Structure 1
Protein backbone atom coordinates (compact mmCIF):
# COMPACT_ATOMS: atom_id res chain seq x y z
CA UNK A 1 0.00 0.00 0.00
CA UNK A 2 1.59 3.22 1.03
CA UNK A 3 5.31 3.63 1.11
CA UNK A 4 4.81 6.03 3.98
CA UNK A 5 3.78 3.00 6.01
CA UNK A 6 7.06 1.41 5.11
CA UNK A 7 8.97 4.43 6.20
CA UNK A 8 7.15 4.65 9.49
CA UNK A 9 7.50 1.00 10.17
CA UNK A 10 11.11 0.54 9.23
CA UNK A 11 12.07 3.29 11.56
CA UNK A 12 9.74 2.21 14.33
CA UNK A 13 10.09 -1.53 14.28
CA UNK A 14 13.69 -1.80 13.22
CA UNK A 15 14.38 1.06 15.63
CA UNK A 16 16.56 3.17 13.41
CA UNK A 17 18.76 5.68 15.18
CA UNK A 18 20.26 8.68 13.49
CA UNK A 19 23.95 9.35 13.60
CA UNK A 20 26.00 12.27 12.39
CA UNK A 21 26.28 12.22 8.64
CA UNK A 22 23.98 11.19 5.89
CA UNK A 23 22.72 7.82 7.11
CA UNK A 24 20.88 6.22 9.98
CA UNK A 25 22.78 3.64 11.94
CA UNK A 26 22.63 0.04 10.76
CA UNK A 27 23.07 -1.18 14.32
CA UNK A 28 19.59 -2.74 14.32
CA UNK A 29 19.56 -4.17 10.80
CA UNK A 30 19.76 -7.73 12.14
CA UNK A 31 16.68 -7.42 14.33
CA UNK A 32 14.23 -10.22 13.57
CA UNK A 33 11.22 -8.30 12.27
CA UNK A 34 9.02 -11.40 12.34
CA UNK A 35 9.52 -11.76 16.09
CA UNK A 36 8.55 -8.14 16.63
CA UNK A 37 5.47 -8.40 14.43
CA UNK A 38 4.30 -11.38 16.51
CA UNK A 39 4.28 -9.26 19.68
CA UNK A 40 1.28 -7.03 20.22
CA UNK A 41 3.03 -5.71 23.31
CA UNK A 42 6.00 -4.40 21.31
CA UNK A 43 3.86 -3.01 18.51
CA UNK A 44 1.59 -1.22 20.98
CA UNK A 45 4.57 0.14 22.92
CA UNK A 46 6.07 1.75 19.82
CA UNK A 47 2.66 2.99 18.75
CA UNK A 48 2.09 4.69 22.12
CA UNK A 49 5.51 6.31 21.96
CA UNK A 50 4.97 7.58 18.42
CA UNK A 51 1.54 8.95 19.16
CA UNK A 52 2.07 10.49 22.60
CA UNK A 53 5.79 10.69 23.27
CA UNK A 54 5.11 8.93 26.58
CA UNK A 55 6.61 5.68 27.78
CA UNK A 56 9.31 5.79 25.13
CA UNK A 57 12.38 3.70 25.41
CA UNK A 58 15.51 5.48 24.21
CA UNK A 59 15.03 3.72 20.86
CA UNK A 60 11.40 4.78 20.66
CA UNK A 61 12.26 8.39 21.46
CA UNK A 62 14.87 8.39 18.70
CA UNK A 63 12.34 6.90 16.30
CA UNK A 64 9.90 9.66 17.11
CA UNK A 65 12.63 12.22 16.50
CA UNK A 66 13.86 10.89 13.12
CA UNK A 67 10.52 9.88 11.64
CA UNK A 68 9.67 13.26 10.06
CA UNK A 69 13.05 13.35 8.31
CA UNK A 70 12.67 9.79 7.03
CA UNK A 71 9.27 10.61 5.59
CA UNK A 72 10.47 13.81 4.00
CA UNK A 73 13.53 12.20 2.44
CA UNK A 74 11.86 8.96 1.29
CA UNK A 75 14.07 7.09 3.73
CA UNK A 76 17.14 8.17 1.80
CA UNK A 77 19.26 7.70 4.93
CA UNK A 78 18.00 4.13 5.41
CA UNK A 79 20.06 1.06 4.54
CA UNK A 80 18.80 -1.33 1.87
CA UNK A 81 17.93 -3.86 4.56
CA UNK A 82 15.88 -1.23 6.41
CA UNK A 83 13.99 -0.43 3.21
CA UNK A 84 13.28 -4.11 2.58
CA UNK A 85 12.12 -4.60 6.15
CA UNK A 86 9.83 -1.63 5.84
CA UNK A 87 8.00 -3.21 2.91
CA UNK A 88 7.35 -6.31 4.98
CA UNK A 89 6.10 -4.20 7.85
CA UNK A 90 3.83 -2.14 5.58
CA UNK A 91 1.92 -5.18 4.51
CA UNK A 92 1.60 -6.39 8.07
CA UNK A 93 0.36 -3.07 9.42
CA UNK A 94 -2.19 -2.63 6.66
CA UNK A 95 -3.47 -6.18 6.87
CA UNK A 96 -3.28 -6.82 10.63
CA UNK A 97 -3.12 -3.44 12.39
CA UNK A 98 -5.01 -1.13 10.08
CA UNK A 99 -6.54 0.90 12.92
CA UNK A 100 -3.10 1.69 14.35
CA UNK A 101 -1.73 2.49 10.91
CA UNK A 102 -4.58 4.89 10.16
CA UNK A 103 -3.86 6.78 13.39
CA UNK A 104 -0.12 7.01 12.71
CA UNK A 105 -0.77 8.20 9.18
CA UNK A 106 -3.23 10.81 10.43
CA UNK A 107 -0.65 12.14 12.89
CA UNK A 108 2.43 12.13 10.66
CA UNK A 109 0.80 12.77 7.27
CA UNK A 110 -2.48 14.59 7.98
CA UNK A 111 -2.54 16.31 4.58
CA UNK A 112 -1.69 13.12 2.69
CA UNK A 113 1.45 14.72 1.26
CA UNK A 114 3.62 11.62 1.63
CA UNK A 115 0.85 9.30 0.49
CA UNK A 116 0.51 11.28 -2.74
CA UNK A 117 4.26 11.51 -3.16
CA UNK A 118 4.76 7.74 -3.02
CA UNK A 119 1.54 6.58 -4.69
CA UNK A 120 3.08 6.08 -8.15
CA UNK A 121 5.96 4.08 -6.73
CA UNK A 122 3.59 1.88 -4.76
CA UNK A 123 1.54 1.13 -7.85
CA UNK A 124 4.72 0.25 -9.71
CA UNK A 125 5.73 -2.17 -6.93
CA UNK A 126 2.30 -3.84 -7.03
CA UNK A 127 2.62 -4.39 -10.77
CA UNK A 128 6.02 -5.99 -10.29
CA UNK A 129 4.65 -8.48 -7.76
Structure 2
Protein backbone atom coordinates (compact mmCIF):
# COMPACT_ATOMS: atom_id res chain seq x y z
CA UNK A 1 0.00 0.00 0.00
CA UNK A 2 2.84 2.44 0.72
CA UNK A 3 4.29 1.97 -2.78
CA UNK A 4 0.97 2.91 -4.30
CA UNK A 5 0.82 6.02 -2.12
CA UNK A 6 4.35 6.99 -3.19
CA UNK A 7 3.49 6.53 -6.87
CA UNK A 8 0.35 8.65 -6.50
CA UNK A 9 2.26 11.42 -4.67
CA UNK A 10 5.03 11.45 -7.28
CA UNK A 11 2.48 11.55 -10.09
CA UNK A 12 0.74 14.51 -8.45
CA UNK A 13 4.04 16.36 -7.97
CA UNK A 14 4.90 15.78 -11.63
CA UNK A 15 1.50 17.01 -12.73
CA UNK A 16 1.75 20.18 -10.65
CA UNK A 17 5.29 20.86 -11.94
CA UNK A 18 4.17 20.44 -15.54
CA UNK A 19 1.34 22.94 -15.01
CA UNK A 20 3.41 25.62 -13.26
CA UNK A 21 2.87 28.92 -15.05
CA UNK A 22 5.93 30.48 -16.62
CA UNK A 23 5.59 33.48 -14.33
CA UNK A 24 6.19 31.20 -11.33
CA UNK A 25 9.37 29.59 -12.64
CA UNK A 26 11.59 31.95 -10.72
CA UNK A 27 14.63 33.88 -11.73
CA UNK A 28 18.11 32.75 -12.67
CA UNK A 29 21.42 34.59 -12.77
CA UNK A 30 21.82 34.79 -16.53
CA UNK A 31 24.77 37.18 -16.16
CA UNK A 32 26.75 34.53 -14.32
CA UNK A 33 26.15 32.04 -17.12
CA UNK A 34 27.03 34.52 -19.86
CA UNK A 35 30.29 35.60 -18.25
CA UNK A 36 31.54 32.12 -17.39
CA UNK A 37 32.50 30.27 -20.56
CA UNK A 38 32.09 26.84 -18.94
CA UNK A 39 28.58 27.69 -17.69
CA UNK A 40 27.66 29.18 -21.05
CA UNK A 41 28.76 26.00 -22.83
CA UNK A 42 26.70 23.95 -20.34
CA UNK A 43 23.67 26.18 -20.95
CA UNK A 44 23.94 25.92 -24.71
CA UNK A 45 24.39 22.15 -24.46
CA UNK A 46 21.22 22.02 -22.34
CA UNK A 47 19.34 24.12 -24.87
CA UNK A 48 20.43 22.00 -27.81
CA UNK A 49 20.12 18.58 -26.16
CA UNK A 50 16.84 16.75 -26.73
CA UNK A 51 16.85 15.33 -23.20
CA UNK A 52 16.98 17.30 -19.99
CA UNK A 53 19.70 15.07 -18.55
CA UNK A 54 22.39 17.66 -19.27
CA UNK A 55 20.44 20.53 -17.68
CA UNK A 56 20.78 21.99 -14.21
CA UNK A 57 17.60 23.23 -12.54
CA UNK A 58 18.42 26.84 -13.53
CA UNK A 59 19.20 25.86 -17.10
CA UNK A 60 15.89 24.00 -17.34
CA UNK A 61 14.24 27.33 -16.57
CA UNK A 62 16.17 29.01 -19.39
CA UNK A 63 15.22 26.16 -21.70
CA UNK A 64 11.56 26.56 -20.79
CA UNK A 65 11.79 30.33 -21.34
CA UNK A 66 13.38 29.73 -24.77
CA UNK A 67 10.53 27.40 -25.69
CA UNK A 68 7.93 29.91 -24.48
CA UNK A 69 9.63 32.74 -26.33
CA UNK A 70 9.59 30.81 -29.59
CA UNK A 71 6.01 29.66 -29.04
CA UNK A 72 4.29 32.86 -27.91
CA UNK A 73 6.97 35.54 -27.42
CA UNK A 74 7.07 34.60 -23.72
CA UNK A 75 3.57 35.98 -23.12
CA UNK A 76 3.34 34.39 -19.66
CA UNK A 77 6.82 35.40 -18.57
CA UNK A 78 7.62 38.00 -15.94
CA UNK A 79 9.50 41.12 -17.03
CA UNK A 80 12.77 39.91 -15.41
CA UNK A 81 12.43 36.61 -17.30
CA UNK A 82 11.86 38.46 -20.57
CA UNK A 83 14.91 40.60 -19.85
CA UNK A 84 17.00 37.48 -19.11
CA UNK A 85 16.02 35.71 -22.31
CA UNK A 86 16.64 38.89 -24.34
CA UNK A 87 20.03 39.33 -22.68
CA UNK A 88 20.87 35.73 -23.59
CA UNK A 89 19.71 36.18 -27.19
CA UNK A 90 21.72 39.39 -27.64
CA UNK A 91 24.84 37.93 -26.08
CA UNK A 92 24.81 34.69 -28.03
CA UNK A 93 23.95 36.32 -31.34
CA UNK A 94 26.79 38.80 -30.94
CA UNK A 95 29.45 36.82 -29.08
CA UNK A 96 28.73 33.21 -30.08
CA UNK A 97 27.08 33.50 -33.52
CA UNK A 98 28.07 29.95 -34.42
CA UNK A 99 25.25 28.75 -32.14
CA UNK A 100 22.51 30.91 -33.68
CA UNK A 101 21.70 28.55 -36.59
CA UNK A 102 21.59 25.55 -34.24
CA UNK A 103 19.37 27.30 -31.70
CA UNK A 104 17.15 28.71 -34.45
CA UNK A 105 16.66 25.32 -36.06
CA UNK A 106 15.69 23.81 -32.72
CA UNK A 107 13.43 26.55 -31.36
CA UNK A 108 12.18 28.20 -34.57
CA UNK A 109 12.51 25.57 -37.30
CA UNK A 110 9.82 27.13 -39.52
CA UNK A 111 11.05 30.70 -39.05
CA UNK A 112 7.63 31.77 -37.75
CA UNK A 113 9.07 33.51 -34.66
CA UNK A 114 11.63 35.44 -36.72
CA UNK A 115 8.96 36.43 -39.23
CA UNK A 116 6.63 37.74 -36.51
CA UNK A 117 9.14 39.22 -34.06
CA UNK A 118 12.44 39.51 -35.93
CA UNK A 119 12.34 43.28 -36.42
CA UNK A 120 11.51 43.85 -32.75
CA UNK A 121 14.42 41.68 -31.57
CA UNK A 122 16.86 43.03 -34.17
CA UNK A 123 16.07 46.55 -32.87
CA UNK A 124 17.10 45.30 -29.42
CA UNK A 125 20.43 43.96 -30.68
CA UNK A 126 19.66 40.34 -31.58
CA UNK A 127 21.26 39.13 -34.80
CA UNK A 128 19.36 36.27 -36.45
Distance 1:45-1:76 versus aligned 2 partners, 3 A rule = same
Q: TM-score, normalised by structure 2?
A: 0.65
Is the contact made by 2:25 and 2:61 (CA closer than 8 Å) also made in structure 1?
A: no
Q: Which has the larger radius of gyration?
A: 2
- CA–CA separation in structure 2 for the residues paired with 1:86 and 1:66: 7
State the superposition RMSD in angstroms.
Answer: 2.8
Distance 1:44-1:94 versus aligned 2 partners, 3 A rule = same
Give structure 1 stretches of 5+ with no counterpart. 1-16
- Compute the displacement of 1:104 (Å): 0.8
Distance 1:55-1:84 versus aligned 2 partners, 3 A rule = closer
Partner in structure 1 of residue 93 of structure 2: 94
Q: 1:1-129 maps to which residues of 2 (within 5 A)?
A: 20-21=20-21, 23-25=22-24, 27-28=26-27, 31=29, 33-52=30-49, 53=51, 54-61=53-60, 63-64=62-63, 67-122=66-121, 125=124
Higher relative contact order (CA 8 A, sep 6+): 1
Is the helix fraction higher in 1 or 2?
2
Give structure 2 stretches of 5+ with no counterpart. 1-16
Matched position secondary structure for 1:104: helix
Is the contact made by 2:66 and 2:85 (CA closer than 8 Å) also made in structure 1?
A: no
